[in-house]
Amino acid sequence: MKTAFAAITLVLAAFPALGQNVKITPIGFCPQKNGVTTVPVETVCTSQTDLGGVFIAQAADAAQGVQITIMYASHVNNAPPSLLSEAQRELLKADGGVVEFGPATGFVVKFTNGLTAYLTGDTGIHSEMKTVVNEFHKANLAVLNLGVNPGIFLSGAHAMNELVRPASVIITHPNEPVTEGGKLRPLSRTAAVIRELKAPAHLAISGRTMEFDGNGSCVAGC
């Protein structure tokens, strides 16, 4: 069974307005029956799912749904000052404080063919990559964001090789020119990470669709 990775788009949370100049349109909850939301939904909705919770999206004619679990990510999630009122900015500036939207997150997506994809989001290395992602969810595909600020480009190979242990890794969000003439730049930071990975690594190239089987192995487009 072949699975297109970008199969479902969800809006999982709506944040309250933090400043007087921000206009927010209320978003309703996704309709559910027996804990399952039938997709596609009629309009944008919020899942009500908390960190660690599971959102199940299922097509009307499908025997089972896709399970989406919200995962912890080690990354700041501060509100930009432009979203704050002048009074809030001045108050925070006096104390050197910030306002956070809430915890940063990644996702584990379990497809109906057994493919279990870990979307790291922007994150540093953390222990739940082993205890939750590997040991509990048994993710066999990882989509690794090589964000600069959390430093995963330094620890990402170890995180994949020793903690998550997927069958395949897709490299995304590298924050540098990665290819030249359609080929990997050998002196790039991304190339250095790929050389250290034990699992096959695949670049996320614009306009290219990759397909993976239930074991996390690429079967097309890689």
pLDDT, one tens digit per residue, over 188-221 is 999 999 999 999 999 999 889 999 999 999 999 9
Report which of 170, 163, 76 is spatially closest to residue 128, judged by C-alpha positions.
163
Instruction: Give the integer Cα–Cα distance in Å for 46 and 101.
Output: 16
Contacts of 80 (CB under 8 A, 6+ apart): none
pTM of the model: 0.84
The better pLDDT of the pair 138, 89 is held by 138
| pLDDT tens, position by position, 121-178 | 999 999 999 999 999 999 999 999 998 888 898 999 999 999 999 999 999 999 999 9
Is the pLDDT higher at 183 or at 69?
69
pLDDT of 10: 32
What pLDDT shows up at residue 98?
Answer: 85
Q: Does residue 12 surpass a pLDDT of 50?
A: no
Q: What is the pLDDT of residue 9?
A: 31
Phi, psi of 28 (to 5 degrees): -80, 170
List the domain boundaries for the chain: 50-220
Mean pLDDT, all residues of the chain: 88
β-pair partners for 78: 100
CATH of domain 50-220: 3.60.15.10
Per-residue pLDDT averaged across 25-38, rounded?
92
